[in-house]
Amino acid sequence: MQPLTGAIQNYAWGSTTAIPQILGVEPDGQPQAELWLGAHPAAPSQVDGRPLPELITEDPAILGSASVDQFGPRLSYLMKILAADQALSLQAHPSRAQAEEGFAREDAAGIARDAKNRNYVDDWPKPEALCALGDFEALYGFADPEVTNRLAAALALPMLDQLFAPLTAVGGAEGIKQVFVACCELPDEQRVVVDDLVQAAFPHIGDENELGTFCRTAIELAAVYPRDPGVLAALLMNRVRLREHEAIFLPAGNMHAYLRGTGVEIMANSNNVLRGGLTPKHVDVAELSRLVDFTPITPPKVAAVEGPPGVWRYDTPAPEFALWRLELANELAVPGSDRGRIVLVTSGSARCGDLHLSAGQSGWLAAGEEATLTGEGRVFVGGSGVPAVN
């Protein structure tokens, strides 16, 4: 195993302390939102001082033959530590077919690939999974529209009632879509409804019930994004709390927004994000609503399946990535020897041969390279989701 060095991303929503605490360094006062580990061209990791994409170009076999056969000579996944101190944008990601079509369409239209109004920055999908390192909160998919309408009606705001009326008058996914689009496209002169909503919500902020959660979501988001219509759109969604080591999977078309917390994230190696609100970045509601699945759901959690003692795999349908968690108490073999892997220590320390990794440090293991870790700590392993066929 070779030492791998990632790249910090300083986004405004990031925590100033969480990633430095994992890394065991003093905070520098800047929000450190993500630590990227992988071969994405925007921030490639270094392996022994060399860019990982350079090593892959020289010898694609380090990825594993099954991965190269399916995805070509590129790392199919991107691994991150994500640390949110405030809400990310309301967002969704395209499927592979949608990404390929959208990317080609915007290229044909002459939209520069680094333009701020670009929706598709590459032609890959971006399914993702996140495993919480502590309490983590997110918005995930759309809630039962009947329940949403009942909670909104409890606040007795005529403008909100009118805006949310299609939830029951139309119902189902189509009713949710109509309300979502109307919220995101709310004219400036009507956005005072967000202020009215916050005022009506305050008396319920301490309620330990559905209405209390509904109201806290509105108040918390409006405090960071005042009069942003995304605050209204967010009320259509499920609020999810993850405990330590619980995980969620976000497929193509899933509307979501992380609210707060720290976790290990793994995704297809793409940066395609279409946003609907809660952001100063480009928002294209029409294109976003074309991709999103508005079907109401109960958010599922990803089961952690223990294989060998001390090794848990988080199974998802995504072929681009796989994620394992290792609870290292003495000695464990690193899984996935048929593919190139990133090994990340999040607590304690681990040793592999002469390489010692403390918390926040990571290593690269090429396909075909078997490795055993010794020490005590928590380790995450990312790899391609496509296993070799024997």
Q: Which residues are catalytic?
A: 275
Q: Where are the alpha helices (DSSP H) in the chain?
A: 18-23, 52-58, 65-71, 96-108, 145-153, 158-164, 166-169, 172-184, 192-201, 210-224, 230-234, 285-291
Beta strands in 6-122 (DSSP E): 7-9, 34-38, 46-47, 50-51, 77-84, 90-92
Q: What's the residue count for the chain?
A: 390
Of 171, 149, 144, 146, nearest to 162 by C-alpha is 149
Strands 341-352 and 274-277, sheet pairing = unpaired
d(CA 20, CA 27): 6
Residues 6+ apart with CB under 8 A from 163: 179, 182, 183, 186, 193, 232
Cβ(177)–Cβ(158) under 8 Å?
Answer: no
**Which residues, in sequence order, are bridge partners of residue 275?**
91
- What angle, rounded to 10 degrees, do the helices at 145-153 and 210-224 form? 80
d(CA 31, CA 342): 25
- In order, the DSSP letters of 339-379 are S-EEEEEEEEEEEETTEEEETT-EEEE-TT---EEEEEEEE
**DSSP character for 309?**
T
Cβ(387)–Cβ(338) under 8 Å?
Answer: yes
